[in-house]
Structure 1
Amino acid sequence: MTETLSQIPDAQRLYLKAATTLTRRPQGQPVLPALEVRVCDVGIDGRHLADYREVCGFAESQTLPITFPHVMAGALHLHLLTQKPFPFPLLGLVHIRNDIRQSRALRADERFDVHVRIGESRAVRQGIEFDLLTEVASGGEPVWTETSTILHRIPGPKSQVPRPAPAPAALADYRSFTAPADIGRRYARVGRDYNPIHLAPLPAKLFGFKRHIAHGMWSLARCAALLQPELGHEPQALSVQFKQPLFLPGRVALRFTREEDGFAFALLSSRSDKIHLTGALR
């Protein structure tokens, strides 16, 4: 059964609720509940959209950045993952893949119905991964969909971490940019993602990081913003595999190659062979 809310909930309050999930200790092979939530007739806050464009580097347009509906639905993701039947602690989940499709460009003056549900789960070497499925509809027709794949780590025997493979040599063109120390806090305000690992060094250290790290969805949006002007048309698909965290502050290189219908790209550290993410924009 789908729960229907009258409006998008407050993400900051939900992150306070997320702190209460730290005591969750799933046993055995947990079964994820079939949770769904929907909000209808959602409009776009022009100030919020403008701030998001500025933080991520998107140019002004009458249409939404392909990553923006993820932000619109973010509090609904939190709403589902903080429900009592959901077995995993929210803080500590790892976003590992994302696949976005849109059938057309979404206008900033439209109103949308947003539907989020928990999809399939799978046992993997690192633990259990599951899909979080988001659909945005306009006039009753789905226009934007997203599959976010998330990992719940289960501790196991320590093994040697393989050295990451270098980015393919074909990715010859590049753009460099800086991820400043405050980008986690700036993106948190527009992305409605207040996970403490992104905000400052001290809370990030409490979760095992040497410093705070950039939001993966900021890194992805920044790549899309740099590539979209060279795409030549409104994007139809954006996919990404998140590899290694981007510690703040940091300087990175977006390496890419043009393919028949778009770009393949990788985001690399400017000072090492570390790959932060790989993806494709079509």
Structure 2
Amino acid sequence: MSVVLSGSPALAPLLARGALLSPFKRPRPDAGFPRDRLVLPGLRIDLARLAAYERVCGFATGDDALPLTYPHVLGFPLAMRLMSGRGFPLPLLGLVHTSVEITRRRALAATGEYELAVHVGGLAPHRRGTEASVITEVRTGGEVVWESRSAYLARHRTARTAEPPGTDRRGTDLRGSDPRETEPRGTDSRGTDPHGTDPHGTDLRGTDPRETDPPGTEPRETEPPVAVPGPLPAVAEWHLGGDVGRRYGAASGDRNPIHLYPLTARLFGFPRAVAHGMWTAARCLAAHGAPERVRVRAEFRAPVLLPGTVTYAADGGRFELRGGERVHVSGVVEDLGPGGR
């Protein structure tokens, strides 16, 4: 059912409601979820707020075209209205934004008028809990010109894993450490024996030692090894101030306490304030650039602590943000061309 709103809801009360209801949520992939589609018609852009967003994210200011990531900011209050309600089964506290995919079919003018719609796409099992997808669409003249799909993970015990809370699906501890660093000696970061076998006895070089050929038979052909892409070449080093989370929060409206101050971040297990995931994606895309018709996917792999220093790296359509050897964000930019969908 479509619910038409007369204005964008205020974020602060929604965040407070979501925090209060979080202890009573029991996440599971087969739970019910809100089926409403929230629609905000006649949306016009606040140009002063847009300019603040462009400055903090590194986009060029003064252009009439909206930055690729800005409609996510416009849709965030509607998403929070859905996710903070009683009908949404995942607790808002501790919810981790794991990825976003954005498709832009044409440039959006900052002076245009749009219809904004947000709905929950569904729930799915995840090896570390339950993941929800939230879909945001921007229409003009009845045509969808921009859409995104964000994945949010609620971490909890599942039948597939007994790993402690605080890790994402790639094994990265969201509180700042990597559980792979505590693996026993003699294994590499994939949990495999460095001599070429995994714990189940499968030879990672292409054969299984339990399936040896009998003497006198011709050796079997094996598939050539798959090339694993190496680190992307560094393009720039960015020194991030401790106020990045507060500046982005003021421009976007997302004032989650983990992003604001060291004290408020420590209440949630972080040693310092953490940069917004969507800020890291926007900052990378501001540096990378994107064609008019484009699809972008960004994976949020580890938090960026503030203040800090990170390396922006890119090659072709790929980009990433690194801190030392740790990859914080990785992404792909796909040019859809004139006939792209």
- 2:258 is aligned with 1:181: no
Code of the aligned partner of 1:216: G
Q: Is 1:71 aligned with 2:73? A: yes
- CA shift at 1:12, angstroms? 2.2
1:222 corresponds in structure 2 to 283
Q: Which moved more, 1:234-243 or 1:185-194?
A: 234-243
In the alignment, what sits opposite 2:46? 45
Choose from 314, 318, 324 the match for 1:256: 314
Moved more, 32-41 or 103-112: 32-41
Pair 1:83 & 2:64 matched:
no
Aligned match of 1:193: 254
2-side partners of 1:30 and 1:210: how far apart?
33
SS in 2 for 1:101: strand
Q: Unaligned regions of 5+ residues in structure 2, if any?
A: 165-170, 172-178, 182-188, 191-227, 335-341
Aligned equivalent of 2:197 = none
**Which of the pair is proportionally richer in helix?**
1
Instruction: Name the aligned partner's letter for residue 205 of structure 1.
Output: R
**Quick one: distance in 1 between partners of 2:229 and 2:306?**
25
- Where in structure 2 are the equivalents of 1:1-282 lying within 5 Å? 1-26=1-26, 29-60=30-61, 61-155=63-157, 157-158=162-163, 161-162=179-180, 168-169=229-230, 171-228=232-289, 233-234=291-292, 236-258=294-316, 263-269=317-323, 272-282=324-334
Look up the SS of the partner of 2:31 in the other structure: coil
Task: Assess if the C-alpha contact under 8 Å between 1:129 and 1:150 holds in 2.
Answer: yes
Report percent identity of matched pairs: 35
For the Cα contact (< 8 Å) 1:97–1:240, is it kept in 2? yes
Map Cα deviations across residues 55-91 of structure 1 (whole Å, 9 max, x no partner).
1010021100000000011100111111211122212
Partner Cα distance (1:74, 1:279) in 2:
21
User: What runs of 5+ residues in structure 1 fail to find an aligned partner?
Assistant: none
- 1:1-50 superposed Cα distances (whole Å, 9 cap, x missing partner): 12111011111232222221232231665232323211101000110111
Alpha-carbon offset, residue 170 of structure 1: 5.9
d(CA) in 2 for partners of 1:192, 1:249: 21
Give the length in aligned residue pairs: 272
Deviation of 1:96 (Å)? 0.4
Measured against aligned partners, the alpha-carbon deviations of 1:105-139 in whole angstroms (never above 9, x if no partner) come to: 10011111011000121111100001000100011
User: Which structure's CA Rg is the greater one?
Assistant: 2
By how many angstroms is 1:143 displaced?
0.3
Q: Is the 2:104–2:292 contact (alpha carbons within 8 Å) kept by the matching residues of 1?
A: no
Question: What's the TM-score, normalizing by structure 1?
Answer: 0.91
**Shift of residue 194 of structure 1?**
1.2
Structure having the higher strand fraction is 1
What's the secondary structure of 2:138's corresponding residue?
Answer: strand
Secondary structure, aligned partner of 1:62: coil
Please tell me the root mean square deviation across aligned C-alpha atoms, in Å. Answer: 1.9
Task: Flag the structure with more relative contact order, 1 or 2, with Cα contacts below 8 A and sequence separation at least 6.
Answer: 1
How far residue 168 of structure 1 moved from its aligned partner, in angstroms, is 4.0
Structure 1 residue 173: Cα displacement: 4.2
| Cα displacement (A) at 1:246 | 0.5
Q: Distance in 2 between matches of 1:75 and 1:205?
A: 25
- Does the residue aligned with 2:110 lie in a helix, a strand or coil? coil
Q: Per-residue deviation at 1:202?
A: 1.6
Residue 174 of structure 1 and its aligned partner are, at CA, apart by 1.4
Q: Is the 8 A contact 1:176 1:253 kept in 2?
A: yes
Contact preservation (8 Å) 1:21, 1:88: no
Alpha carbons of 1:87 and 1:174: their partners in 2 closer, same or farther (altered >3 Å)?
same
